[in-house]
Structure 1
């Protein structure tokens, strides 16, 4: 058994004595071989060994107090070796089921803190059957373990040969460094798209999977301000995009944001002449473009007052570099990357430009939703699994995201999304009903420490209630009596009564330690567990 499957204390005990015992034997052999086996050499080597072993023990004490030792550390190579014989399961650290028996043990011990029932002491690995099939929501406050959970699951998907796509609004160094190192170990294609450094990496074509012009027009209209989508301005913008996209597709011309910006700004005048030359004036596409070109120019400019700035953002600046065709760099389509089983990391750069991050994330999710529809229609074709990881999902929530969640599961596109609170989803989706719809699409829920009262209440309701026996103890002490009334008597009482209580005691979710979680897994009930810390490799050249 690998040393990480043992308890933390037993593992350290064996490694400590094995390492320093071997060092003592080596020094003894060196002394005999060199002839320096006198008393002075024995005393010197003994003191050096005591000093070094004491420093090692002090280091272990510091790691234990900081929490790193309790959680355990694991390298990427050790992770791959651990899951080698479990191709259809997802490893989520150590722990065990949290049920009425475990809760009864908690009450009997009168324990009040979650860490006093540490899952590390159980030495039982947590495996989620069938690779965690179904979408998963990872919930927790910042710094509690969401990134470690994402890394653990993404690396396992990479090791299984799945396509891995990560959308990270904030960006960072740890996640892409681990993915790139693992991709190199497995000889996989790795592509990084960074909004902070748009001229580095590749370009994405996020308009390649749209089969119907109405689908592409609806996808782009999702980027309009929410207040204008259902108004006459949003409808006119959709009609304009639909006619131009249909004409470009019919003419077999390249569909880019630059071409859309040009033809929308030109009111389709150049495009309608091309349609006349190709099909004549009676063709359906020619008639639609003719109506657009003959529209009153002043009224037209007022109706596209929101559409034109949107296309300007998409065709220029950061998004123009990442999504455009004028940079001279190779453009990748998500369909090609999925066929190559690539590993793709997209840093959205929300900290510097939230608007650009929201647009880029929505476009990528929309392209994935369109691909999900294509894969669903071609259900007889053998397809590779796609694992999508979306951090800070509340910033990208919308109709496109819900469509991906609805379509993805049946075509083997699994989404894992991270949020800080369930209230964030409610705000992003514009109400409790669509937020609950989004949560309802998730088969699994991984919960770290959260301080949001509404989230705790919802999770407690989802866990349900169980019957346990509660002990009630009491004593009786009668009032003082006079000496002639006899000796006063005291009594004690201990009884057990069945009582229905929440499976998750109130306030526990607010006191979980870092990397400790409660998992609500479909078909496996509630799991109490602890994730390891992944050792970050050095920077890849």
Structure 2
């Protein structure tokens, strides 16, 4: 067996010989004690001792053989959804082991040239792979080629699972166990990194399934719209008895999607303009136009709120293009409340005296009533911040106004064109539309499950705008929960809100940072999935700010990555460890003294040297098989993980297609035009110092 301090597992299993000899000798002692000249009693005791020795040595040999076998194969790890363990205190991540110096030593041992025949596939395996291709089109042999290709137990040269990578990364520890993470660590947020098609979404299914069965509020952002992930979330909602709390928002399937007003809920009125303006470019000269766009969107939003109308993209687009109708409507509303009783007659008199030739160039061609209202208000010297903003926008020359807000125009056109417009600018009083409308605070109150499919492959701009607006809305909700709790919940209780953001580099913006570093106190626990960290840096455009984002993730799970800089996010956090290297030394000395009687002297030595190496290198992460990962858990403990693949066979809860799911969802959708009256106001009931009016009426607009 192995001798410390050098562990030798990549060698012939010499323990088998001693086990065989001990078994043979014990058998002779038991069956023919006279052959060993032993009395029967002593022979029986000797046989028992020899069989015990044989068992010990056989066990040691089996450990070596199993270790070497795992070096060449990748066992498939599947688990049915209903068998995924769910704990109230732990999060199941799969099977694995704690990575230590011993595993670094074993991994480096696999790189030695003399042990490659234990690590690489054998000659028979390579022959079978060649014959699969050579015989594929041969009439008489293609059946045999098909048999060689079968991944069955009866095929001794069956191909490896199509997961690639280096099996030795997990084979260095034969004794794996279930890997768990403390749920208390999830408030510190979890970052999952991995290149395309290596298991990020499957890991998301594993984590989301547990969150659903645990009873959390679950929100899943999926920019690309993975159909398997959607079907799995819906199936688990049904299996957990929470199908009535499931909402689907999908820009790619508007006919079955719930509706959501991305700018209809806020704590401060300025959030409406911020959510829209944040989607505009801010580099160079674009920064000034972005600020102009923010100002005019803010003017429109404040006026709509003062008129007790809920802002949406349709209204913002309409009044950005032509602010005159909004100015007239608000001026009439303001004068009806604050003006004298005869204001209407006075405005008509002013309108009658207007001469087109005497008007400023910016006012020519404008409606006479609008000009009269502006002049009357200026003459009355009435001050109202909303009215002041509307008047300033109304007085701008139309050509100049169009130029300074031109940056926001294309964005608003994209957000209000086609079937998407009805999704993100819903008509609350349309009784013919059976699709529900949701708000985040309502979802949290109901302990809902929301799948957000943004269809980024079709239109990245719209997906990014809607996703960022949702994040900004969630930050606002988190602030409300942090200060006031959830309406209707017990005092002092904070709901657990599990937010999963797949491909979050497509979603990240300025809104995402406060969600990470401030929303934990409101019960938010974010799990973000992306391919490389450079994607995040490119999206943010600032390396320091990207580092700020990375610093808010306390737990890191890294699957196979192809970018060394991303791999170094994990390896740079690991310590260096000492490994042993066995070096063989041989030498011969000739004797020149003919009288000495010694012609030559030879020596053979085994020397052990110690060197310091990284616990893991970026190259190790590049060679990970699909479905395997390294994880830094609970304060820097390194784990090697193997995630279970979903076993969907005979899963009654899983809809066979999106069409079947859509039919079931359409049966469940029930419209209630007063569903949103869950609080005293239709925006979040918190102090709003920026709001121009303070009213307690319900929204009917």
TM-score by length of 2: 0.63
Structure 1 252/333 Cα, relative in aligned 2: closer, same or farther at 3 Å?
same
- Aligned partner of 2:368 in structure 1 is none
2:553 is the counterpart of 1:438: no
**Residues 300-355 of structure 1, C-alpha deviations (whole Å, 9 max, x = no match):** 11111112222222222243132122473331112111211111111111112222
Task: Tell me how far 1:145 sits from its aligned partner.
Answer: 1.3
Gaps of 5+ in 2: 1-69, 113-118, 120-165, 340-381, 486-490, 661-701
- From 278, 285, 293, the counterpart of 1:237: 293
Task: Tell me how far 1:235 sits from its aligned partner.
Answer: 1.2
- From 270, 295, 304, the counterpart of 2:328: 270
Q: Is the contact made by 2:248 and 2:451 (CA closer than 8 Å) also made in structure 1? A: yes
Task: Tell me how far 1:65 sits from its aligned partner.
Answer: 12
- Aligned partner of 2:267 in structure 1 is 211
Q: Secondary structure at the match of 1:462?
A: coil
Structure 1 431/494 Cα, relative in aligned 2: closer, same or farther at 3 Å?
farther
Q: Secondary structure at the match of 1:298?
A: helix
- Aligned partner of 1:539 in structure 2 is 655
The separation in 1 between residues aligned to 2:436 and 2:579, in whole angstroms, is: 66
The separation in 2 between residues aligned to 1:391 and 1:244, in whole angstroms, is: 34
Q: Secondary structure at the match of 1:122?
A: coil
Task: Tell me how far 1:482 sits from its aligned partner.
Answer: 9.1
Q: Is the contact made by 2:93 and 2:179 (CA closer than 8 Å) also made in structure 1? A: yes
Residues paired across the two proteins, number = 472
Structure 1 475/509 Cα, relative in aligned 2: closer, same or farther at 3 Å?
same
The separation in 1 between residues aligned to 2:92 and 2:82, in whole angstroms, is: 15
**Residues 114-150 of structure 1, C-alpha deviations (whole Å, 9 max, x = no match):** 5354388424111101254221111111121111111
2:446 is the counterpart of 1:345: no
Task: Tell me how far 1:471 sits from its aligned partner.
Answer: 2.2
Task: Tell me how far 1:483 sits from its aligned partner.
Answer: 12
The separation in 1 between residues aligned to 2:225 and 2:172, in whole angstroms, is: 31
- Aligned partner of 1:377 in structure 2 is 483
- Aligned partner of 2:279 in structure 1 is 223
- From 483, 500, 519, the counterpart of 2:631: 519
- Aligned partner of 2:640 in structure 1 is 528
The separation in 1 between residues aligned to 2:524 and 2:613, in whole angstroms, is: 38
**Residues 437-461 of structure 1, C-alpha deviations (whole Å, 9 max, x = no match):** 1111101110011121111233211
The separation in 2 between residues aligned to 1:229 and 1:369, in whole angstroms, is: 29
2:431 is the counterpart of 1:321: no
Structure 1 65/470 Cα, relative in aligned 2: closer, same or farther at 3 Å?
closer
Task: Tell me how far 1:474 sits from its aligned partner.
Answer: 2.6
Structure 1 311/66 Cα, relative in aligned 2: closer, same or farther at 3 Å?
farther
* Structure richer in strand, relative to its length: 1
Q: Which segment drifts farther, 100-109 or 402-411? A: 100-109
Q: Is the contact made by 2:237 and 2:246 (CA closer than 8 Å) also made in structure 1? A: yes
Q: Secondary structure at the match of 1:203?
A: coil
Structure 1 474/447 Cα, relative in aligned 2: closer, same or farther at 3 Å?
same
Task: Tell me how far 1:279 sits from its aligned partner.
Answer: 4.1
Task: Tell me how far 1:539 sits from its aligned partner.
Answer: 1.9
Superposed, 1:109-124 pairs within 5 Å as 113=166, 115=168, 117-118=170-171, 121-124=174-177
Task: Tell me how far 1:524 sits from its aligned partner.
Answer: 5.4
Gaps of 5+ in 1: 1-63
Q: Secondary structure at the match of 1:402?
A: helix
Structure 1 421/191 Cα, relative in aligned 2: closer, same or farther at 3 Å?
same
- Aligned partner of 2:512 in structure 1 is 401
Q: Is the contact made by 2:107 and 2:169 (CA closer than 8 Å) also made in structure 1? A: no
Q: Is the contact made by 2:495 and 2:522 (CA closer than 8 Å) also made in structure 1? A: no
The separation in 1 between residues aligned to 2:316 and 2:285, in whole angstroms, is: 19
Superposed, 1:385-464 pairs within 5 Å as 385-464=496-575
- Aligned partner of 1:153 in structure 2 is 207
* Structure richer in helix, relative to its length: 1
- From 446, 467, 473, the counterpart of 1:367: 473
Q: Secondary structure at the match of 1:364?
A: helix
Q: Which segment drifts farther, 234-243 or 281-290? A: 281-290
Q: Is the contact made by 2:281 and 2:287 (CA closer than 8 Å) also made in structure 1? A: no
Structure 1 512/474 Cα, relative in aligned 2: closer, same or farther at 3 Å?
same
Task: Tell me how far 1:494 sits from its aligned partner.
Answer: 2.8
Structure 1 158/245 Cα, relative in aligned 2: closer, same or farther at 3 Å?
same
Q: Is the contact made by 2:502 and 2:528 (CA closer than 8 Å) also made in structure 1? A: yes
Q: Is the contact made by 2:426 and 2:437 (CA closer than 8 Å) also made in structure 1? A: yes
- From 178, 186, 196, the counterpart of 1:142: 196
Q: Secondary structure at the match of 2:201?
A: helix
**Residues 267-319 of structure 1, C-alpha deviations (whole Å, 9 max, x = no match):** 24334423343445422222222222222222111111112222222222243
Q: Secondary structure at the match of 2:314?
A: helix
Q: Greater Rg, structure 1 or structure 2?
A: 2
Superposed, 1:177-196 pairs within 5 Å as 177-188=231-242, 189-196=245-252
Q: Which segment drifts farther, 217-226 or 486-495? A: 486-495
The separation in 2 between residues aligned to 1:342 and 1:65, in whole angstroms, is: 45
The separation in 1 between residues aligned to 2:387 and 2:176, in whole angstroms, is: 70
Task: Tell me how far 1:109 sits from its aligned partner.
Answer: 6.7
Task: Tell me how far 1:486 sits from its aligned partner.
Answer: 4.6
- Aligned partner of 2:81 in structure 1 is 76
TM-score by length of 1: 0.81
Structure 1 76/390 Cα, relative in aligned 2: closer, same or farther at 3 Å?
same
Structure 1 506/234 Cα, relative in aligned 2: closer, same or farther at 3 Å?
closer
